[in-house]
Amino acid sequence: MYTLITGGTVVSSTGSGQADVLIEDEKIVAVLEPGSGVLGATFLQGVDRRIDATGKYVIPGGIDAHTHMEMPFGGTFASDTFETGTRAAAWGGTTTIVDFSVQYTGEDVLERFAAWHDKAAGKCAIDYAFHQIIGGVDDVSLAAMDTLIDEGVSSFKLFMAYKDVFLSDDGQIVRAMQRASRNGGLLMMHAENGSVIDVLQQQALERGETDPIHHGLTRPWQTEEEATYRAIRLSELTGAPLYVVHVSAKQAAMRIAEARDTGQNVFGETCPQYLWLSLEEQLGAPGFEGSKWVCSTPLRARVDGHQEHMWQALRTNDLQLVSTDHCPFCMKGQKELGRNSFAAIPNGIGSVEHRLDLVYQGVVTGKISLSRWVEICCTTPARMFGMYGTKGVIAPGADADVVVYDPAGRTRISVDTHHMNLDYSAWEGFEIDGHVDTVISRGLVVIDDGEYHGHAGHGKYIRRGLSQYLI
Each residue's pLDDT, cut to its tens digit, for the chain (471 residues) gives 999 999 999 999 999 999 999 999 999 999 999 988 888 888 888 899 999 999 999 999 999 999 999 999 888 999 999 999 999 999 999 999 999 999 999 999 999 999 999 999 999 999 999 999 999 999 999 999 999 999 999 999 999 999 999 999 999 999 999 999 999 999 999 999 999 999 999 999 999 999 999 999 999 999 999 999 999 999 999 999 999 999 999 999 999 999 999 999 999 999 999 999 999 999 999 999 999 999 999 999 999 999 999 999 999 999 999 999 999 999 999 999 999 999 999 999 999 999 999 999 999 999 999 999 999 999 999 999 999 999 999 999 999 999 999 999 999 999 999 999 999 999 999 999 999 999 999 999 999 999 999 999 999 999 999 999 875
Q: Is the peptide bond before 297 cis (omega within 30 degrees of 0)?
A: yes
Count H helices and E strands in the chain, helices first.
14, 23
Write down the pLDDT at residue 45.
84
Question: Is 462 domain-assigned?
Answer: no
Count of domains for the chain = 2
CB 21 within 8 Å of CB 4: yes
Same domain, 34 and 78: no
CATH of the domain at 124: 3.20.20.140
The pLDDT value recorded for residue 471 is 55
82 and 49 housed in the same domain: no
122 occurs within a structural domain: yes
> Is 158 inside any structural domain?
yes
Do 163 and 49 reside in the same domain of the chain? no
Q: Is residue 471 part of a domain?
A: no
| 264 in the same domain as 177 | yes
User: Is the same domain home to 309 and 429?
Assistant: no
Question: Do residues 14 and 102 both lie within one domain?
Answer: no
Cα 249 to Cα 298: distance, rounded to the nearest angstrom: 9
Same domain, 212 and 169: yes
Q: Is residue 68 located within the same domain as residue 159? A: yes
95 and 201 inside one domain: yes
- Identify the CATH number of the domain in which residue 437 sits: 2.30.40.10
Instruction: Compute the distance between CA of residue 125 and CA of residue 128 in angstroms, rounded to an integer.
Output: 9
Residues 186 and 113 in one domain: yes
* Three-state SS at 147: helix
What pLDDT is attached to residue 357? 98
Owning domain of residue 350: 62-384
Residue 461 belongs to some domain of the structure: no
Report CA Rg, the chain: 22
Same domain, 66 and 54: no
Nearest-10 Cα torsion for 377, 320, 323, 149: 100
Domain match, 66 and 47 both: no
